Amino acid sequence: MGTVVSTKRNEIIVAKEVLPMEEVGSGEVNGEIEEETGEESFPALEHGYNFDFFVIGGGSGGLAAAIQAAKYGKKVGLADFVTATPSGTSWGLGGTCVNVGCIPKKLMHQAALIGQVLEDSTHFGWSCSEEALSHDWNRMVEKIKAHIQSLNWGYRVSLQKAEVEYFNALARFEDEHTLHLVDKNEKEVAKITSEIFLIAVGGRPRYLDGVLGGNPGEFCITSDDIFSLAYHPGKVVIIGGSYIALETAGFLCGIGIDVTVMVRSQLLRGFDQQLAEKIGVILEKHGVQMLRNCSPTEITSVEQGNPGKLIVYGVNSETGETMEEPCNTVILAVGRAPSVGGLNLGEIGVEVDPTSGKIVVNDSEQTQVEHVYALGDCAEGRLELTPVAIQAGVLLAKRLFGGGNLRMDYDKIATTVFTPLEYSCVGLSEEEALEKFGGDENIEVYHVTSQPLEFTLPARDKESCYSKLICVKNEEERIVGFHYLGPNAGEICQGFALAIKLNVKKGDLDETVGIHPTCAEQFTTMHVTKRSGDSWVKTGC
């Protein structure tokens, strides 16, 4: 970002220079992209503002919307800025998914899966030396970082190609059409006006301030730090019981790290609880220690270092028993808070939900202020998933500028929890279906437990894989819930998600010929209902 040399009313002139590495965030590389130099102005457009569309946040949703809007010849700007974590971690353009979410998470999950394959390989005739089974944390982190940097760079190039004006700056509303853009030294680098704004600022991990004494950020890290941690974390305690806690436990354990998870209530709130409990059992079988019904009360540092030595104190809510768990690294995975605090939203009349802190929007992603939209993780009531933010962003830009009228359908969105055995689902949990359709007599649940063929020789995860279909009885067994726990769950569920969205019925699956020998084929042959009480263990071919 350059320096503002003029801010006449509705006209902005910015002196642009080649960005030094530190100005573009630690994750970004400054290389082949042709940086504009000299002065550039953003004259007022016909409507009197500098931009037609200005996006705050260069993550999944913001980038998708900005690039789509630019395709219609609109003057589009985008500001993205990453505030460093308490331990100093920062990253480049692309938002949570690319830098500290889906991408590094899936790569670390893959590292863990490779470890399993190496272990299993002797059962298939391979000889595997001890050395082949050792894992180098730093090598993994360096390779992942390099990949992420290439993605950061890819986004810079995409913005430039689309002629979206990119500002590596923190945005704050001055009034409902004007934004201040400041750099990491809090120096104003630009002040722009736009006809329409999109807020897609995502969220950041919570730190349990006020729950634990002192300053938890001093001792604890979060998912924002773990993927680029420059040293082996040693023994890890993870606090939380949802997606991030369980996925992180899974991949850390899978690469040989001693992991304890402290869960205060249920696992994976909102998911089918039968499946959630199965994931807990599998994690334990894989070596994760689970402390159930346990809340943290204090964390103390015994020794500083990389890693240091810490003690996590907790209390069991059922027995009142206290416990202490020595470790080297504490990862807080206790939910995320929307990054809306510094935007000055109150001043411009954008309503924020008092409980969640998220921006209140209607079904067109519009806030109370007509020309200000919000989507992705910072918008109230939206699933916090990358493809959700992307789809909402693309559809919004099409509606605003491309003559489109399609609204985002937030129903029946598939998701996967990338634990050692992956869990994918779409539609309702059994609990939700029971409530929605008025009890057990109105739904039929089909289920089967099986062992994937590839697990048979190493005798791994016997009877751990599980498939469940939830059908509405008086609607010709329309399938309203699809659940699968097993290898490649995300890949398997994606296709079925389409079928569920198109209101597939159990009979349609029965008529579908399976692909043999796969795990997915069992969805075409399921015949045991829960109600029958018959064995749901699959035997034979």
- Residues marked as catalytic: 516
Binding of ligand NDP by 272 (CB under 6 A) = no
Distances (CA, A) of 143 to 82, 154, 248, 267, 320: 22, 17, 18, 32, 45
Q: What is 100-113 written as a DSSP string?
A: HSHHHHHHHHHHHH
Q: Find the shortest distance in angstroms from Cβ 60 to ligand NDP.
A: 11
Q: CB under 5 to 8 A by kind: which of ligand NDP, ligand FAD, none does 239 bind?
A: ligand NDP
Helix or strand or coil: residue 297? Answer: strand
CB 111, CB 165: distance < 8 Å: no
* For helices 273-285 and 243-254, angle between their N-to-C axes, nearest 10 degrees: 20
Candidates 189, 200, 220, 345; binder of ligand FAD (CB under 6 A) is: 200
Closest CA to 479 of 412, 407, 404: 412
Residue type, 181: L
Q: CB under 5 to 8 A by kind: which of ligand FAD, ligand NDP, none does 496 bind?
A: none
Write the interaction track for ligand NDP spanning residues 156-195; mark x where CB under 6 A is met and - where it is not.
Answer: ----------------------------------------
CB 297, CB 273: distance < 8 Å: no
Binding of ligand FAD by 101 (CB under 6 A) = yes
CB 259, CB 289: distance < 8 Å: yes
Q: Find the shortest distance in angstroms from Cβ 229 to ligand FAD.
A: 13
Task: Please list every residue from 216 through 235 that binds ligand FAD, using CB under 6 A.
Answer: 223
Helix or strand or coil: residue 477? Answer: coil
According to the annotation, is 71 in a ligand binding site?
no
Binding of ligand FAD by 201 (CB under 6 A) = yes
Residue count (the chain): 541
In the chain, count H helices and then E strands. 14, 25
According to the annotation, is 540 in a ligand binding site?
no
Q: Report the DSSP pairing between strands 322-327 and 309-316.
A: antiparallel
Q: Find the shortest distance in angstroms from Cβ 109 to ligand NDP.
A: 9
Which strands sit side by side in the sheet containing 322-327, from one edge to the other? 294-303, 309-316, 322-327
Candidates 385, 469, 504, 509; binder of ligand FAD (CB under 6 A) is: 385
According to the annotation, is 335 in a ligand binding site?
yes
Residue 37 tokens, joined:
């130099």
According to the annotation, is 144 in a ligand binding site?
no
Residue nearest to ligand FAD (CB): 59
Residue type, 165: E
Binding of ligand NDP by 334 (CB under 6 A) = yes
Task: Please list every residue from 239 through 278 that binds ligand FAD, using CB under 6 A.
Answer: 244
Residues 6+ apart with CB under 8 A from 95: 57, 58, 59, 60, 61, 62, 63, 80, 101, 202
Rounded Cα distance, 424 and 421, in Å: 10
Residue 317 tokens, joined:
């809510």
Rounded Cα distance, 264 and 240, in Å: 7
Candidates 244, 299, 389, 465; binder of ligand NDP (CB under 6 A) is: 244
Rounded Cα distance, 69 and 53, in Å: 8
Compare residues 92 and 307 and give the one whose CB is closer to ligand FAD.
Answer: 92
Residue nearest to ligand NDP (CB): 242
Compare residues 416 and 450 and give the one whose CB is closer to ligand NDP.
Answer: 416
According to the annotation, is 246 in a ligand binding site?
yes
Candidates 264, 358, 382, 483; binder of ligand NDP (CB under 6 A) is: 264
Binding of ligand NDP by 422 (CB under 6 A) = no
Binding of ligand NDP by 265 (CB under 6 A) = yes
Candidates 2, 27, 77, 95; binder of ligand FAD (CB under 6 A) is: 95
Write the interaction track for ligand FAD spanning residues 54-93; mark x where CB under 6 A is met and - where it is not.
Answer: --xxxxxxx----------------xxxx-----------
Q: Find the shortest distance in angstroms from Cβ 7 to ligand NDP.
A: 38
Write the interaction track for ligand FAD spanning residues 320-359; mark x where CB under 6 A is met and - where it is not.
Answer: -------------------x--xx----------------
Binding of ligand FAD by 202 (CB under 6 A) = yes
Long-range Cβ contacts of 478-481 (<8 Å, 24+ apart): 478/503, 478/504, 478/505, 478/506, 479/427, 479/504, 479/505, 479/506, 479/509, 480/427, 480/428, 480/433, 480/436, 480/437, 480/443, 481/272, 481/425, 481/426, 481/427, 481/428, 481/429, 481/430, 481/432, 481/433
Candidates 26, 89, 96, 260; binder of ligand FAD (CB under 6 A) is: 96
Compare residues 262 and 414 and give the one whose CB is closer to ligand FAD.
Answer: 414
Distances (CA, A) of 314 to 291, 293, 301, 346: 10, 10, 15, 38
Distances (CA, A) of 445 to 235, 422, 467, 493: 41, 21, 10, 18
Rounded Cα distance, 16 and 35, in Å: 8
Binding of ligand FAD by 152 (CB under 6 A) = no
Compare residues 13 and 211 and give the one whose CB is closer to ligand NDP.
Answer: 211
According to the annotation, is 485 in a ligand binding site?
no
Q: Which residues of 344-475 form beta strands (DSSP E)? A: 372-374, 415-417, 422-427, 443-450, 465-472
Write the interaction track for ligand NDP spanning residues 351-390; mark x where CB under 6 A is met and - where it is not.
Answer: --------------------------------xxx-----
According to the annotation, is 240 in a ligand binding site?
yes
Binding of ligand FAD by 105 (CB under 6 A) = yes
Angle (CA) 116-117-121 rounded to 5° is: 120
CB 482, CB 526: distance < 8 Å: no
Q: How many residues sit close enough to ligand FAD to count as binding (CB under 6 A)?
A: 35
Q: How many residues sit close enough to ligand NDP to count as binding (CB under 6 A)?
A: 27
Where on the chain is the footprint of ligand NDP (CB under 6 A)? 208, 211, 239-245, 247, 264-266, 269, 295-296, 333-336, 383-385, 415-418
Binding residues for FAD: 106, 377
Where on the chain is the footprint of ligand FAD (CB under 6 A)? 56-62, 79-82, 95-97, 100-102, 105, 170-171, 200-202, 223, 244, 339, 342-343, 376-377, 384-387, 389
Binding residues: 106, 240-247, 335, 377
